[in-house]
Structure 1
Amino acid sequence: MMPIEDFEELAEAAPDAVRLEFVNGRVRTKEPLSIEDFEELERRAPETVRLEYLNGKLEVKAPQDGNHSCIHAWLTRQLLLQCPGHGLYPFSGVKTQTDRNGRARTDGAYARRGHFKGHGEWSDPDGILMVLEITVRDLGTNQRDRIDKPIGYAGAEIPVYLLIDRDNNTVVVHSEPKDGRYRQIVSHPWGSPVDIPAPVGITLDTTELKDYAD
């Protein structure tokens, strides 16, 4: 849930054309939001608020906790050991959906080293091999991470979407994007080996993830 103090600061900073409301701890827009208005709102947002625009809806990315950070560090180590020429770039802003009018703040974007050099706040998805999301204890997690983001990432033809699901203690691999959907979705329990298909092409040892079960 978003603190009311953060909402009030965001609402005060919002452009005149953007009217916000606060319902059940979540921020919403009273009218449809253009991508230009979203980007202006995001630029004006306080540092404590990270905004996303998913399938036409304004979302606030929930803050991470300690286990979230440990899981991110675990995956970064695994990827670096197996593919030293690539990197997992945290909190990358990515343009999503078929029309590229979505804006997702990923937990990680996996690409060749130096890929994001010279990019602005929101990067085109071309050249990103995989995106990462790690669920948090938040009421919007199901809709955001399991429904809206797979649609947005598949629409942008990002080859792999890796979801580390802390509610179910699973690693979910989405691959083969086509027509705005991932055609392959495979769920693995924590502790089992996880094959990440091409163009990533590695196998993750997920034993350590069991240390971070909530």
Structure 2
Amino acid sequence: MSDTRPPFMAQEEFEALAAHARSLNESLSFEFINGKMGAKGVPDGDHDEMIAWLQSLCMQANAGWWLYVERGLRVETYRTGNARPDGTLAPRGTFSGQGEWASTDGVLMVVEVTSGDSDTNQRDRVDKPRAYAQTGIPVYLLIDRDTCEVKVHSQPDGERYEMVGTVPFGKTVALPDPVGIELDTEPLKDWVC
């Protein structure tokens, strides 16, 4: 029986292709997860407001932190993938001297806000949690506009997150250590289309 899976793309091939494609169309962001290239559209205004809200809260909790927007990260086992989380929480200066695709060393949390495109389910709810857990990122926060819920993934075991907590918009959710802050998610209701 022949293998019908598409061939995996090499890391270097992805980086060259993504750079070329971005020069032609700046309205798309490219990622390389689980050997497959994907694209996601440019965020809308409500998406931006959610990230700005979270950025403000993280800075209030610790002035030494920054929520980097669309920071390219090398993810997955053996660093064979690239992702652009909507937000990456890390101490200021973590990415100094690194190129477009940075190491996840020092990353405290990654954040995704669902976009409602056809690939959101697979990308944000399946592929990215696995890739982020494999990389050892302590917390993955998913702001799910489709279900009006916040999902907090924590305790990565190298394959998956062992803990996943879900709360509806409007409730308070605790982000576990190393983040260690509580979020009142009531404002998220204002930015759901």
Distance 1:49 1:166 in 2: 20
Deviation at 1:54, TM superposition (A): 0.9
State whether structure 2 residue 14 is matched by structure 1 residue 35: no
TM-score, normalised by the number of residues in structure 1: 0.84
TM-score (norm: length of structure 2): 0.93
Q: SS at 2:77's partner residue?
A: coil
The equivalent of 1:92 in structure 2 is 71
Q: Larger radius of gyration, structure 1 or 2?
A: 1
Q: Which amino acid aligns with 1:156?
A: T
- Residue number in structure 2 paired with 1:60: 39
Partner of 1:78: 57
SS in 1 for 2:78: coil
> Take 1:67 and 1:49, find their aligned partners in 2: how far apart are those partners?
18
Q: Tell me the distance in 2 between the aligned counterparts of 1:155 and 1:31.
A: 22
In the aligned structure 2, how far is the partner of 1:145 from the partner of 1:159?
16
> Does residue 123 of structure 1 match 2:102?
yes
Distance in 1 between residues matched to 2:67 and 2:138, nearest whole Å: 15
- How far, CA to CA, are the matches of 1:31 and 1:149 in structure 2? 20
Q: Calculate percent identity across the aligned residue pairs.
A: 46
Question: For structure 1, which segment, 37-46 or 148-157, has the greater mean C-alpha deviation from structure 2 after superposition?
Answer: 37-46
Q: Distance in 1 between matches of 2:91 and 2:109?
A: 11
Distance 2:63 2:87 in 1: 16
1:44 and 2:23 correspond:
no
Question: Is residue 203 from structure 1 mapped to residue 179 from structure 2 by the alignment?
Answer: no
> Mind listing any 5+ residue stretches in structure 1 that lack a counterpart?
1-29
Q: How far did 1:201 drift?
A: 0.6
Distance in 1 separating the partners of 2:159 and 2:127: 11
Deviation at 1:32, TM superposition (A): 2.6
Select the residue among 128, 140, 151 that pairs with 1:172: 151
Are residues 1:104 and 2:83 paired? yes
Secondary structure of the structure 2 residue equivalent to 1:61: strand
Q: Which runs of 5+ in 2 are unaligned?
A: 1-5
Contact map agreement 1:61 1:105 (CA 8 A) in 2: no
Question: How far off is 1:73 after superposition?
Answer: 0.9
Residues 138-192 of structure 1 show CA distances to partners (whole Å, capped at 9, x for unaligned) of 0000000000000100000000000000001111000000031000000111111
Q: Deviation of residue 37 (structure 1)?
A: 0.5
Decide whether the 8 Å contact of 2:27 with 2:41 is kept in 1: no
One-letter amino acid of the structure 2 residue matched with residue 182 of structure 1 = Y
Counterpart residue type for residue 55 of structure 2: T
Q: CA RMSD in A?
A: 1.3
Structure 1: which amino acid aligns with 2:135? A
